[in-house]
């Protein structure tokens, strides 16, 4: 991932230095397990712990000759351990024993950071929901005024979307928390199952139930799918803010610094650039999920077609989502909410948002639904064309006044009454105040 979208803590997991360090963790754990089993001298395991080291430059120098990164790594480490102990490095292992098990370690660490990101995002959305709980605004379906809602209700929807993303990330963490040290085709021909079990226990991993030369790639595909779904939770928030910031709406705006500039040509512009960036990055995330699915089916016990994909998509997807979650949290924390504009916009359709209330009110008096629907539909169109409130048009419509008194008509346009049943939504939101 380019530096622009890479936060330091997540980026550090995916450096070459960190990759080889995780490989060394696996190699050291394997020698410890071999030594405990009695097949390798204890001095070899101790020597690897004391002197096992590498430099990225030296590994790259060796790889330039041998064209194999794991061999280059093992050679470099063995050089530092020295002989005779160095000859035991990588004993009984195949490359994927090290690479896949170490990859699991880094993916678990990356996913832990992402869960922390979504902890913060959920908390911010919950706080916003309660803050704006009673702030009415136009609800919109198909981009058109529907019925009234509150901005707090909108934020509550965001909070639950972010919480579902967090839950899926936790499940994906467990799916990916798996290692294997079962040899070239997964048959333990050169390494006993006890060594594999001991290594995975040391590293906090589960053992792959039935591995080939590699851990099942469906695990990585599931992780990438969950990362993409989590990205859509960020996109959902960002897209809503983009729509609400449009000049014709103007109800909410993303944060804008005092020295920030919106356009090189037009000084008046205050563009939703962060929200747009989040939506754009979500497209990348979905593409990486598709790449993960393509990696699941491999030839026989393994081919290498998945490797080149994973070198790109796993670091990039975790780095990208980390950035998206942080930026989305920043949007929610700093958004400018304009309740007065929300009220003004509610009047743009002259009370049409209460049309269903009127429809049901007429049905309750004994009118059949279809005639009642036509009466309200005609009145709403008339109100819009004449730029008068629907309430007043209804009071001049005989089919309505024959069924309802003026006071009963007025009662159908009570915003508080329409929004008075949101308590269960916010009761359920209370459960998200405490992470987990």
Alpha carbons 26 and 48: distance in angstroms, whole number: 11
Alpha carbons 249 and 188: distance in angstroms, whole number: 65
Report whether 78 contacts 44 (CB < 8 A).
Answer: no
Report whether 118 contacts 432 (CB < 8 A).
Answer: no
Alpha carbons 391 and 337: distance in angstroms, whole number: 29
* Residue 264 CB burial class (10 angstroms; 0-12, 13-18, ≥19): exposed
How many residues are there in the chain?
A: 436
Estimate the crossing angle of helix 273-294 against helix 305-334, to 10 degrees: 150
Alpha carbons 81 and 52: distance in angstroms, whole number: 5
Q: Which residues are catalytic?
A: 142, 263
- Summarize the chain as % helix, strand, coil (round to 5): 65, 5, 30
Residue in the block written with tokens 């530096």: 3
User: Which of 375, 430, 416, 427 is CA-nearest to residue 150?
Assistant: 416
Using alpha carbons only, what angle is made at residue 170 by residues 425 and 183, rounded to the nearest 5 degrees? 160
- In whole angstroms, how large is the CA radius of gyration of the chain? 30
Alpha carbons 436 and 433: distance in angstroms, whole number: 9
Contacts of 147 (CB under 8 A, 6+ apart): 139, 353, 354, 356, 418
């Amino acid at each position: 991932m380019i530096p622009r979208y890479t936060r330091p803590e997540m980026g550090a997991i995916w450096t070459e230095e960190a990759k080889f360090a995780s490989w060394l963790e696996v190699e050291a754990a394997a020698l410890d397990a071999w030594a405990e089993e009695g097949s390798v001298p204890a001095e070899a395991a101790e020597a690897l712990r004391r002197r096992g080291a590498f430099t990225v430059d030296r590994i790259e120098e060796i790889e330039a000759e041998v064209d194999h990164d794991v061999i280059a790594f093992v050679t470099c480490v063995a050089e530092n351990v020295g002989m005779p102990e160095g000859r035991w490095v990588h004993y009984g292992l195949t490359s994927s024993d090290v690479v896949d098990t170490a990859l699991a370690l880094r993916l678990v660490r990356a996913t832990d950071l992402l869960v922390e990101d979504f902890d913060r995002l959920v908390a911010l959305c919950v706080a916003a929901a309660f803050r704006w709980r009673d702030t009415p605004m136009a609800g919109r379906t198909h981009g058109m005024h529907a019925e009234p809602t509150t901005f707090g209700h909108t934020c509550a929807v965001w909070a639950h979307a972010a919480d579902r993303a967090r839950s899926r990330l936790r499940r994906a963490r467990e799916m990916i928390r798996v290692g294997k040290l079962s040899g070239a085709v997964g048959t333990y021909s050169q390494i006993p199952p006890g060594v594999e079990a001991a290594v995975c226990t040391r590293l906090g991993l589960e053992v792959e139930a039935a591995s080939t030369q590699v851990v099942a790639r469906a695990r990585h595909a599931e992780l990438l799918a969950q990362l993409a779904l989590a990205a859509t939770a960020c996109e959902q928030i960002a897209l809503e803010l983009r729509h609400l910031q449009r000049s014709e709406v103007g109800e909410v705006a993303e944060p804008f610094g005092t020295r920030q500039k919106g356009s090189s040509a037009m000084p008046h512009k205050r563009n939703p650039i962060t929200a747009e960036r989040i939506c754009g990055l979500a497209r990348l995330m979905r593409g990486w999920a598709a790449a993960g699915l393509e990696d699941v089916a491999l030839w026989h016990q393994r081919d290498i077609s998945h490797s080149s994909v994973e070198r790109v998509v796993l670091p990039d997807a975790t780095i990208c989502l980390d950035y998206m979650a942080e930026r989305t949290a920043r949007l929610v924390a700093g958004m400018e909410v304009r309740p007065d504009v929300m009220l003004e916009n509610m009047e743009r359709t002259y009370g049409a948002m209460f049309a269903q209330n009127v429809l049901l009110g007429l049905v309750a008096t004994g009118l059949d639904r279809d005639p009642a629907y036509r009466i309200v539909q005609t009145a709403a169109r008339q109100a819009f064309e004449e730029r008068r409130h629907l309430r007043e048009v209804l009071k001049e419509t005989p089919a309505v006044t024959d069924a309802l008194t003026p006071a009963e008509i007025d009662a159908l346009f009570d915003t508080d009454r329409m929004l008075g049943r949101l308590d269960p939504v916010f009761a359920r939101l209370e459960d998200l105040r405490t992470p987990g």
